[in-house]
């Protein structure tokens, strides 16, 4: 396992002869390429797609080898990025999915698991396993495309909670929230009846770091005839009295029903709570994961946001230089501050999220 | 049951007016019949008591036979009334006793009633057992019986207490390894829930190994009722079972019942032993390792970790975090009744961890204010998310919550029970060593889930109130 970790450089370790393909496969590069190619792709989905691509490349012969390799690749991927939370939610979900589907294959898990062995030199075509694997690959693609449609379903689920004449506050560059508001402002055809457009106003708190994304969302909303006001982050508390509901997006949803989101979401949530305005989170189900931070600093990485130093010495005492701040800092919003989640499968409370995470992933 | 306030006659005896409603002829009967019930369980503390046992037996034999069902009922009623009267007076007496230490003279007339008691599970029943406990005594040995009486108000009579049962009093079928374990539990040598569980499972493994199915029986049908239950009864009598033991025993009984009727005995025994080994490995050993790792992840550089008392899992977690190179310090607040934290402090300091120690709750607020995280390892988790843990835990957790500190509970899933407790009195245990006639001490308390930030188990980290979800998950696995 440990050897494969450094696999990117250590090509000379012929651990699994026939898996040269898998060894040379660069999961990290694939992940970044996927994210770049498709700006609509979320981090967990990019991780899942990268893993599927990897499975297509590898010639694994047994069930356990497959799971083993997927786990190794996931670890490699997680080690390569600074903030692996969202990504790990994707890889965890995929692993769980793999295990579940390999546990109850149509037939032949016996032959593949016991008969295979590590060096599959004997060219024994484990057809039964191959069937499972092909089935898996096909299903995995389906899984990925389904997840991509999630945003539309969130828009449908969420619009019921946006009422006429209300003022919605949002922030950050969340595409899910942008889509939700845009769809709510248009009419929706349920088939049996057409839901009229919602008439609401939007206050958009603009984070200078995410200005490009938020400008896009604001422009698209205004083009649809939605009244949008942009305010600086500093005016949040000031504007709160005019707000009826707060809607934000999330990078990842934690096991206790909290969210990990772009820096500032927590402040917004605290302000909303203090003003007794409900905070809704629009997030896809695949963002749910086992991460359970107990506070803002309970992460495996240091964001470098708080960095003490004085003019006298830019070098701090114990020899460490100035911390390098993370380009896209995050914070953790605890479940107490969240009213409900608009997910793609349903609208649920933080407690239900916790339950779902246990059922799905543990 | 019938003579719950067994201590009462002892103190009441010097006052003739203490039990006016009692019918004279029934007094000896009552004591005697109760004694008969308990004859094999109780321990005579002195020769006096032993002699009394012998005397009372004939009386008992004749008395019981004569009574018809209706008479028995009437008798029970009378006894109840008498007991109430006794209670009232005994309370007064107890108060008096607190001020004036009892004299050995009191012992004489009351000796015959001393040993009367109810069924083994009653709180009061444990009183005689404690008679053998040295430690708190100032009076001469002969006075032990009266001096040691622990007065437990009726509203607490559902709570049980550990007691020493001399090996000679145990059922003859109790296995030697279980006998020893029972002693260790009664004396709190083996104390923590998981440690007790592991020791119990290992002892039961020995029981299985040395078990031979009598001719005409099958293991699956014979073992549980005729062998296992005897062991369990004895262990329970020594000290009430903890929840994890209850869970494990339920599991073991299920395994026994699942044995194939046609399997040979050797095979069945081998399978059972193997199942126990796997159980210990999965639910305790590996679980502990995983919890330790996960728990340590919540300790960051610069943290001040607060621990209450000593618990193996917390100790392991702190040591593990230290071994990974995290730089943090530890603050130990100890349970003043049981200074196990000192042991923890020594261990941690020995490993080079900065430790500060406080022997009791003095300045608890300011201690917790300096801490960043509080770690607990509960005795059990209830289904509603309440944490059953060493008495005082709730106080610590409440202060921690109020000061915005995170309270993290580390707990193996075997300690999660499907029962629910919203207070500390539904389930608890009376401390036999630190209770007296005037007061008794409870060993545990229940901390509501709102005071806990996180519950780390081997299945994953969840909110405390997700405990029932974990139980459900465990059932799915089986």
**Block residue for tokens 């201590």:** B7
Query: Are B460 and A361 in contact (CB < 8 Å)?
Result: yes
Asked if residue B108 has pLDDT above 60, the reply is no
**Block residue for tokens 């709750």:** B361
Which of A298, A318, A320, A335 is the best residue to mutate to test the B interface, defined by the most B CB atoms within 10 Å of its own CB? A298
Q: In angstroms, what separates the C-alpha of A296 from chain B's closest C-alpha?
A: 11
Query: Are A290 and B297 in contact (CB < 8 Å)?
Result: no
Contacting residues of A for B408, CB less than 8 Å apart:
294
Task: Please state the φ and ψ torsions of residue B348, each to the nearest 5 degrees.
Answer: -70, -45
By the CB < 8 Å criterion, does B405 face chain A?
Answer: no
Query: Are B469 and A355 in contact (CB < 8 Å)?
Result: yes
pLDDT tens digits for range A164-175 = 999 999 998 888
Range(s) of chain A covered by CATH 1.20.120: 2-147
Out of 3.40.50.10470, 3.60.10.10, 3.40.50.1820, 3.20.20.70, the CATH code matching A160-361 is 3.40.50.10470
- H or E element in which residue B325 lies: none
Closest A-chain CA to B374: A294
If you write DSSP's letter for every residue of B401-439 in order, what string do you get? HHTT-EEEEE--GGGB-S---SSSSSS-EE-SSS--SS-
Please classify residue B238 by burial: count the beta carbons closer than 10 Å to its beta carbon, then call 0-12 exposed, 13-18 middle and 19+ buried.
buried
What are the domain boundaries of chain B?
7-158, 168-288, 298-477
By the CB < 8 Å criterion, does B205 face chain A?
Answer: no
Query: Are A358 and B454 in contact (CB < 8 Å)?
Result: no
Asked if residue A35 has pLDDT above 80, the reply is yes
Query: Are the C-beta atoms of residues B385 and B471 closer than 8 Å to each other?
Result: no
pLDDT tens digits for range B253-262 = 999 999 888 8
Contacts within 8 Å (CB) and 24+ apart, A332-336: A332/A254, A332/A258, A332/A259, A332/A260, A332/A266, A332/A293, A332/A295, A332/A296, A332/A298, A333/A258, A333/A259, A333/A260, A333/A261, A333/A265, A333/A266, A333/A269, A334/A256, A334/A258, A335/A256, A335/A257, A335/A258, A336/A273
Torsion angle in degrees (nearest 10) through CA of B392, B395, B396, B402:
170
* Residue A203 token pair: 């206050």
Q: Which residues contact B307 (CB under 8 A, 6 or more apart)?
A: B314, B315, B318, B330, B331, B332, B333, B341, B344, B374, B375
Backbone torsion region of residue B302, taken as left when φ is above 0, otherwise alpha when ψ lies between -120 and 50, otherwise beta? left
By the CB < 8 Å criterion, does A358 face chain B?
Answer: yes
Asked if residue B24 has pLDDT above 80, the reply is no
Contacting residues of B for A256, CB less than 8 Å apart:
454, 462-463
Query: Are B470 and A358 in contact (CB < 8 Å)?
Result: yes
Sheet holding B354-358, edge to edge: B354-358, B329-333, B304-308, B373-376, B406-410, B454-457, B460-462
pLDDT tens digits for range B381-416 = 999 999 999 999 999 999 999 999 999 999 999 999
Fold assignment, A2-147: 1.20.120
By the CB < 8 Å criterion, does A359 face chain B?
Answer: yes
Single out the residue of B148, B149, B147, B179 nearest to residue B166, CA to CA.
Answer: B179
Beta bridge partners of B447: B387
**Block residue for tokens 């799971």:** A67
Q: Which one of A294, A354, A359 has the shortest CB-CB distance to B298?
A: A294
Cα B309 to Cα B226, B335, B336: the distances in Å are 40, 6, 9
Q: Which one of A294, A355, A358 has the shortest CB-CB distance to B454?
A: A294
More confident call, A342 vs B62: A342
More confident call, B41 vs B296: B296
Query: Are B461 and A255 in contact (CB < 8 Å)?
Result: yes
Contacting residues of A for B463, CB less than 8 Å apart:
255-256, 354
Q: In angstroms, what separates the C-alpha of A99 from chain B's closest C-alpha?
A: 14
Taking the alpha carbons at both ends of chain B, their separation in whole angstroms is 40
pLDDT tens digits for range A78-100 = 999 889 999 999 999 888 888 87
What integer is the mean pLDDT of B5-25? 40
DSSP state, B282? I
Helix segments in chain A, DSSP class H? 2-5, 20-24, 27-37, 43-57, 63-80, 85-103, 109-115, 127-159, 175-185, 211-223, 236-239, 265-274, 350-361
Domain B298-477 classification at class level: alpha beta
Query: Are A294 and B473 in contact (CB < 8 Å)?
Result: no
pTM of the model as a whole: 0.74
Domain B168-288 classification at class level: mainly alpha
Q: Which one of B406, B408, B473 has the shortest CB-CB distance to A358?
A: B473
Which of B405, B462, B468 is the best residue to mutate to test the A interface, defined by the most A CB atoms within 10 Å of its own CB? B462
Largest Cα span, chain B = 77
More confident call, B93 vs B306: B306
Query: Are B461 and A358 in contact (CB < 8 Å)?
Result: no
Range(s) of chain A covered by CATH 3.40.50.10470: 160-361
């Amino acid at each position: 396992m440990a050897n494969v970790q450094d696999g990117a450089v250590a090509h000379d370790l012929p651990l699994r002869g026939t898996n040269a393909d898998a060894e040379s496969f660069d999961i990290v590069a694939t992940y970044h390429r996927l994210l770049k190619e498709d700006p609509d792709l979320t981090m967990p989905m990019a991780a899942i797609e990268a893993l599927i691509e990897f499975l297509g490349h590898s010639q694994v012969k047994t069930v356990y080898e497959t799971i083993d390799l997927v786990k190794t690749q996931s670890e490699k991927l997680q080690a390569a990025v600074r903030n692996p939370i969202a990504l790990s939610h994707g890889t965890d979900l995929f692993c769980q999915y793999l295990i579940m589907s390999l546990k109850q294959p149509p037939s032949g898990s016996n032959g593949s698991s016991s008969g295979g062995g590590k060096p599959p030199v004997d060219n024994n075509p484990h057809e039964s396993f191959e069937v499972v694997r092909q089935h898996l690959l096909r299903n995995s693609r389906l899984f990925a495309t389904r997840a991509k449609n999630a945003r539309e379903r969130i828009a449908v689920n969420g619009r019921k909670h946006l009422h006429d004449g209300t003022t919605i506050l949002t922030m950050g560059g969340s595409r899910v929230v942008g889509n939700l508001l845009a769809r709510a402002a248009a009419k929706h055809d349920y088939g049996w009846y057409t839901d009229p457009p919602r008439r609401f106003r939007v206050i958009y708190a603009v984070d200078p770091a995410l200005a490009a994304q938020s400008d896009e969302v604001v422009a698209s909303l205004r083009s649809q005839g939605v009244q949008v006001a942009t305010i600086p982050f500093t005016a949040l508390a000031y504007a709160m009295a005019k707000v009826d509901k707060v809607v934000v997006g999330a990078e990842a949803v934690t096991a206790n029903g909290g969210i990990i989101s772009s820096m500032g979401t927590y402040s917004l949530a605290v302000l909303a709570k203090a003003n007794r305005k409900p905070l809704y989170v629009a997030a896809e189900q695949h963002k749910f994961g086992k991460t359970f931070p107990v506070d803002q600093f309970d992460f495996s990485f240091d964001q470098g946001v708080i960095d003490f130093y004085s003019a006298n010495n830019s070098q701090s005492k114990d020899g460490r230089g100035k911390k390098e701040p993370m380009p896209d800092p995050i914070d953790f919003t605890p479940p107490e501050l969240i009213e409900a989640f608009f997910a793609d499968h349903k609208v649920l409370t933080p407690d239900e999220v916790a339950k779902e995470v246990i059922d799905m992933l543990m | 049951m019938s003579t719950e306030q067994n201590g009462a006659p002892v103190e009441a005896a010097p006052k003739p007016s203490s039990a006016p409603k009692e019918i004279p002829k029934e007094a000896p009967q009552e004591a005697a019949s109760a004694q008969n019930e308990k004859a094999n369980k109780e321990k005579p503390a002195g020769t006096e008591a032993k002699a009394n046992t012998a005397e009372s037996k004939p009386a008992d034999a004749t008395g019981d036979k004569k009574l018809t069902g209706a008479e028995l009922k009437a008798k029970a009623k009378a006894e109840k009334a008498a007991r109430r009267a006794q209670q009232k007076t005994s309370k007064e007496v107890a108060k008096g006793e607190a001020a004036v230490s009892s004299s050995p003279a009191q012992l004489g007339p009351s000796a015959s009633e001393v040993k009367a008691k109810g069924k083994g599970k009653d709180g009061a029943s444990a009183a005689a057992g404690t008679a053998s406990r040295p430690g708190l005594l100032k009076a001469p040995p002969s006075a032990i019986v009266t001096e040691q009486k622990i007065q437990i108000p009726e509203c607490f009579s559902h709570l049980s207490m550990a007691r020493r049962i001399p090996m000679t009093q145990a059922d003859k079928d109790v296995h030697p390894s279980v006998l020893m374990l029972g002693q260790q539990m009664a004396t709190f040598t083996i104390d923590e829930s998981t440690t007790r569980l592991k020791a119990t499972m290992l002892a039961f493994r020995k029981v299985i190994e040395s078990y031979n199915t009598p001719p005409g029986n099958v293991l699956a049908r014979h073992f549980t009722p005729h062998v296992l239950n005897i062991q369990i009864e004895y262990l329970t009598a020594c000290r009430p079972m903890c929840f994890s033991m209850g869970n494990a025993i339920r599991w073991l009984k299920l395994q026994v019942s699942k044995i194939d009727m046609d399997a040979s005995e050797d095979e069945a025994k081998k399978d059972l032993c193997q199942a126990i080994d796997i159980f210990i490995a999965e639910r305790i050993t590996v679980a502990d390792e995983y919890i330790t790792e996960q728990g340590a992840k919540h300790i960051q550089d610069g943290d001040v970790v607060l621990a209450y008392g000593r618990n193996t899992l917390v100790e392991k977690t702190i040591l593990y975090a230290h071994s990974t190179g995290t730089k943090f310090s530890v603050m130990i607040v100890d349970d003043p009744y049981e200074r196990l934290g000192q042991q923890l402090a020594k261990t941690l300091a020995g490993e080079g961890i900065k430790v500060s120690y406080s022997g009791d709750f003095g300045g608890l607020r300011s201690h917790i204010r300096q801490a960043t995280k509080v770690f607990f390892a509960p005795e059990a988790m209830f289904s509603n998310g309440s944490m059953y843990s060493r008495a005082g835990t709730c106080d610590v957790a409440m202060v921690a919550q109020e000061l915005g500190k995170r309270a993290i509970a580390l707990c193996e899933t075997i300690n999660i029970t499907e029962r629910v407790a919203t207070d500390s009195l539904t389930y608890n245990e009376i401390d036999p060593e630190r209770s007296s006639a005037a007061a008794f001490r409870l060993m545990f308390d229940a901390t509501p889930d709102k005071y806990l930030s996180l519950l780390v188990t081997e299945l994953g980290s969840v909110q405390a109130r997700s405990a029932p979800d974990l139980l459900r998950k465990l059932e799915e696995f089986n």
